[in-house]
Amino acid sequence: MIEAVTVERFRGLRRLGVEGLGRVNLIVGKNNCGKTALMEALLIAQTADGGASRVYFVQSLRRSGVAPADFDRFWRPLFWSQDADGGFAIEVRGSQPAPIRLDFRRSASPPPMLTEPTAFAAGAPATWALDVRIANGGERTEQVLGGPAGLKLPAFAGSGREFWIAPNKNVSATDIALFSTLKQAGREAELLGILREVDNRVSGLEILAPTGTVAELFVRLAPDSPLLPIAMMGDGFQRCFEMTVSAVTCGVLFVDELDNGLHHSILESVWRWLAVVSSKRGIQIFATTHSEECIHAASRAFTELKDDGLRVIRLDRRDGETTAAIYDRELVETAAETGVELRG
């Protein structure tokens, strides 16, 4: 579990230190204060391996449609003030024996030839290189190489521990595969309870292949009724499915704008479910919100469960600097009782 993070020169964060992270962390603050950037930093530095792949992943979410081999348009916005030569660094500390520190910087030396086969090209010259220095007890370096011929990321098998839920619904093939594994293991019921909080007509979920090739997820709304493709359900239902199927299979869950699409009346149930699952499975959760109802719902759910695992992290930006204040469950509860605004 990550207990502290330091972010330097990453996106709009010149320097941010957060200490005292909990099992479930709800990040709040005004627009452009760096909530999503902080979550991205936490995702990138989850493990010493695969940092470059995770940077590529988070940037793909923000820069979809931009060629990843185009350094200036795809990679440069990652750096504070777009200063790729100055680099950015993320360090996390917690239950790991040694801190994990990842430094990313545009290489000052000429990039080597792309001599190995890549997804894009082989034998072509790279025009830029991104150095990744990894410190985790020992120290080593990797390089991301790119140019007109394509992009080459350091080899990374991927741990599959982390799941990122974006603000917009996107039930993916990965989600369906995760659900398939759960259903096969007879664990479908773990999701159905919370999905019924969103829509009490739901009696089951089925994976079908109407075309014979592509698997699709269908929802059963009544025992003998026709099945409905999940895409026909509301945004909140689809996001709740993504969130829950990820939570019961992941090690770390990131949810950007958790309350998106969810009616305020079910937020407390969602938090109660997440609290129980995260405690039982020992997973760490990071989420963002702009909603006061979402904060208070989390506080009520954790209070009811007598669970001290909740932290609300408030980010504030002033004079170009970002600060973080951490509130435990009791402080969040007091703020709700006395009308203190936690969202910045």
| Binding-residue pattern over the window 259 to 298 for other proteins, x denoting contact by CB under 8 A | ----------------------------------------
CA distance 320 to 245: 38
Say whether residue 323 binds other proteins (CB under 8 A).
yes
3-state secondary structure of 299: helix
Among 46-54, 103-111, 166-174, 314-322, which window interacts with other proteins (CB under 8 A)?
Answer: 314-322
- In sequence order, what E strands does 78-154 have? 88-94, 100-106, 113-114, 124-125, 128-136, 138-147, 150-152
- Show Cβ contacts of residue 40 under 8 Å, excluding neighbours closer than 6 positions: 10, 11, 58
- Residues that bind other proteins (rule: CB under 8 A) add up to a total of 15
Q: Which is nearer to other proteins, 72 or 341 (CB)?
A: 341
Write down the least CB distance from residue 34 to other proteins, Å.
14
Among 127-135, 179-187, 211-219, 333-341, which window interacts with other proteins (CB under 8 A)?
Answer: 333-341
Write down the least CB distance from residue 284 to other proteins, Å.
22
What's the gap between Cα 311 and its chain centre? 17
- In sequence order, what E strands does the chain have? 2-10, 13-19, 24-29, 88-94, 100-106, 113-114, 124-125, 128-136, 138-147, 150-152, 162-165, 204-208, 216-220, 228-229, 252-255, 284-288, 310-318, 321-328
Q: In what order do the strands lie in the sheet with 162-165?
A: 162-165, 252-255, 284-288, 24-29, 310-318, 321-328
Among 1-9, 91-99, 167-175, 313-321, which window interacts with other proteins (CB under 8 A)?
Answer: 313-321
Q: Which is nearer to other proteins, 38 or 270 (CB)?
A: 38
Among 144, 176, 327, 329, binds other proteins (CB under 8 A): 327
Write down the least CB distance from residue 27 to other proteins, Å.
15
| Binding-residue pattern over the window 31 to 50 for other proteins, x denoting contact by CB under 8 A | --------------------
Say whether residue 338 binds other proteins (CB under 8 A).
yes
Say whether residue 337 binds other proteins (CB under 8 A).
yes
CA distance 266 to 278: 18
Residues within the interface to other proteins (CB under 8 A): 314, 316, 318, 323, 325-327, 330-331, 334-335, 337-338, 340, 344
